[in-house]
Structure formats: structure tokens, C-alpha cells
Amino acid sequence: MTSTADTNTTTTDTATGAATGGRLGPEALRERALEALTTARERTALLTDSVDDGELTAQHSPLMSPLVWDLAHIGNQEEQWLWREVAGRDALRPEIDPLYDAFAHPRSERPSLPLLGPSEARAYAADVRTRVLDVLTEVRPDGRPLLDEGFAFGMIAQHEQQHDETMLITHQLRKGPAALDAPPPPVHPATPLPAEVLIPGGPFTMGTSDEPWALDNERPAHVRTVPAFHIDTVPVTNGAYLAFMADGGYTERRWWQPEGWAQIREHGIVAPLFWRQENGQWLRRRFGVTEPVPEDEPVVHVSWYEADAYARWVGRRLPTEAEWEKAARHDPVTGRSHRYPWGDADPGPDHANLGQRHLRPARAGSYPAGASPLGVRQLIGDVWEWTASDFLPYPGFRAFPYKEYSEVFFGPDHKVLRGGSFAVDAVACRGTFRNWDYPVRRQIFAGFRTARSAELD
């Protein structure tokens, strides 16, 4: 489901207040594309080399593909778009296209397909990458939208990083000892923070028309008017969620949407996914390690229905997608919509918990350098945040470069998530980025924050 432009200079579109990134020269674009592709492939190697061939070919959950499918699919998408479409070269392995078409076979069926084995999948992906890097040195802008600002290369880097996040979810679902390791997030000094922030009402620029590697569902930029509202300063924590559980949150039907209530009753859900209670203490399993639930971290692995029920219990609601983006991007002093809460600069390690640097969310209230102009924290990174909104196109939406990325998913079946998680790379996360999933999904790295309308004051 899920580019950052090197915008050392910005201008302002006075009609919309949107930030416009400066265009890069051909050599700078190649360097940017090379860095994005290399970073993604290094992460893919980490996720696939850390387990043996048996683990690569196993299906660890019917919700997920075998890791070896993701590996070859990454190579196949790169071959189709960069080798065949951009470079105009003959197909390398056309016979495997149907095997790695994500729409042709549901994930539960993929283990039964005649997939490439681990060594063959690695060799195929490596061969494609070698050829693509040659293309990168040769290709020049030729008027095709695919090549404008290096979009096709950015699209493929984002695609690989999105599958890396999917593979990290598979690592979380797999049984057995830990295969991955990472240092804990930095501990920032604890400072008193207000529980909520008031976001003033009025118009703001939502979406983008200028971010070079933004995907079709983020476009075009358009003006939305949002009434004043309050939003949580930080995501809802495990400790706050434990209070909901202790107060009968999973046994009180009044807090739940009918579909959510049916879901938790049918499956016996009484806590976030991967939690269990032992001797009166709540524990969680995190990438093969069992540990006490840390009360000061944002809650993760909850469905939209669980997030919505908590919000109702606390007398609030989930923010709409427009409210979330206004809180994340709008600067009330200048009237501009920034690329990120902290401004237009690309994310750094002081701004947000991204890129699998840490295998967990940071403590709520962390990353003060990443706060929005009004002081909302951790809007980018740590956990995806469920919103109240269905996944719908923006006014003037145009599918590009294919309908299957966004258009086929529009409608009430999918809810929008925003902000990224610790599992998301910066190339696939920005203030306009839109993720979506079914409201029952719990294996994804999703949490939430709540809001309330200011008119209720």
C-alpha cells in the first residue's frame, strides 16, 4: 500500500498555499534514485537472508505470502516497469508474470504455485537490478510522465519498501526465536505535554501536485475547509488502552460498531494482537521476544474497530483523514501546507521513527524535533494511525500509471491510515501519503489517536 523529494528550495503557490519543490538536474535525480533503490535492496536482503530457505518458502500466516514470493515479486515488478516499460527491452522471464501478479492469486494460494526457489529468486532479482542500474545511467527524460523527475524509479523504490514492510509483518507473525535485531528507539527527556491540541478551523491545502514521487491517490492538491477540532498530542498508549480493557472495553457492546462487535465475539478477541495475560500481567510477543507490555509506548496491532471502540469509550472519535492531514501539514502562521509536520526537510533520525531502525514504537512524546507547528507529536513514524475516513479519490483524481494501485480499492470497504510506522522507509512516507486496509486488519503496525470537535467545548 505505501518519496521524499530533495527540496532545498521551496516556493509558495499563492492560490493554495502549497509548498512546491525545486526540480533536480539529471545527475542529482540519478543519485537520488540510486540511493532509494540501494537502500530498499539492502533492507530486502536483511529480511530474506536472516532466515533459512525453509522459512522463506513457508507460509507463516494465510494473511501473508511466503517471503520468497515477495522477493521474486519485487524483481518482477522492477523488470516490468524499469526494464521493459522505461527502457523498452525484451522481457527476461515473461512466463513468471502470472505467478507474481498480486491480483491473480490470493495470498492463501501462493504457496501452492510453482514459485521460484530461494536461490533462483535471489538470482533473478539481482539480475534485474544489475540491468536496471545500467538503464539508470543511460535513461534521459523524454517527455513521458513515467520519467518526469525520475518517477518510475521512485515508484519502484517505494514498491520494494512497501513489500519490505509486508515482509517485516511476516517476521512478526512467524513463530520461533528472533531472527531480527535492532537497538531501542532513543529516549527523549520526558516533558509535560498537553493531552490535546486545538487545530483552528478554516481552509488548508490537502494532497499534492508538486511532490515528484507522490503516488496517484495523493493527487491533486486541493483546498479543504475543516472546522476547528482538538486532536491528541500523542498516539494512544498501551497504558491508556489497558484502562479501556480493564473497564470492560471488550465486553461492553455499546462501544462497538455492529461489524466490530461480531468480529471480536467470533474470534474471541480480548486484547491487541500478540498480547496475552500471564499471572495477572499483560505480555506481548514482538519479533520472537516475549516482554511485558510497555505502558508508555503507542498501542499497536489494533484494528479500526478496536480504535473506534476505544475512542467512543473515552468520549471522543477518530479524526477524519482531512483533520489528520491538517494537523500534520498546516502551518497556521504562514497558511502553507508543509511536506512534513516539522517543515519541508527530508526526515532525519531526530524527526521520526522510520526505516526499521528500531523494531518498536518510541515512547509517546518522543521526537520533539518532529512536532507540528501547533505541537502535535509523532504524526510521522512509530505507528500507522487509523482515521475515520473511507479510502476515496480526491477531486480530479487520475489513475497513474495503472488503476490497480489505488482505483480498484476506492470505496467503503477500506479505511484510511496515515503517518507511517517504524516499519516504513522515508521514501514511502510523507505528510500526503495515504495507506488503506480493511477495518478488521490487526497484523499491520497500526495504532491511532483520537479527536473531538471544538464546537462541543
pLDDT in tens, 34-81: 999 999 999 999 999 999 999 999 999 999 999 999 999 999 999 999
Residue 14 backbone dihedrals phi, psi, to 5 degrees: -65, -20
Q: Name the superfamily (CATH) of residues 10-173.
A: dinb family like domain (1.20.120.450)
Secondary element (H or E) of residue 349: none
Give tens-digit pLDDT for 270-310.
999 999 999 999 999 999 999 999 999 999 999 999 999 99
Position 456 scores a pLDDT of 66
pLDDT in tens, 257-276: 999 999 999 999 999 999 99
Other beta carbons less than 10 A from residue 20's beta carbon: 18
Length of the chain: 457
* pLDDT per residue as tens digits for the range 353-366: 999 999 999 999 99
- Grid coordinates given for 77: 515488478
CATH class, range 184-457: alpha beta
Q: CB under 8 Å to 452, separation ≥6 — which residues?
A: 196, 229, 230, 315, 316, 317
Residue 317, strand partner residues? 451
Does residue 142 carry a pLDDT above 90?
A: no
The domains of the chain are located at 10-173, 184-457
**pLDDT computed for residue 22 by the predictor:** 55
Question: What one-character-per-residue DSSP string does 324-377 give?
Answer: HHHHHHB-TTT--B-SBTTBSSPP-TTT-B-TTSSSSPPPTT--GGG--TT---
Check if the beta carbon of residue 371 is closer than 8 Å to that of residue 188.
no
Question: What type of residue sits at position 183?
Answer: P
Determine the average pLDDT of the residues in 335-356: 97
Please say whether the beta carbons of 205 and 17 come within 8 A. yes
What's the pTM?
A: 0.93
Determine the pLDDT at residue 27.
84
Judge whether 63 and 45 are in contact, CB under 8 Å: no
Asked if the domains at 10-173 and 184-457 fall in one CATH topology, the answer is no
Mean pLDDT score of the chain, rounded to an integer?
Answer: 93
> Residue 8 — pLDDT band, cuts 50, 70, 90?
very low
Q: 439 preceded by cis ω (within 30°)?
A: no
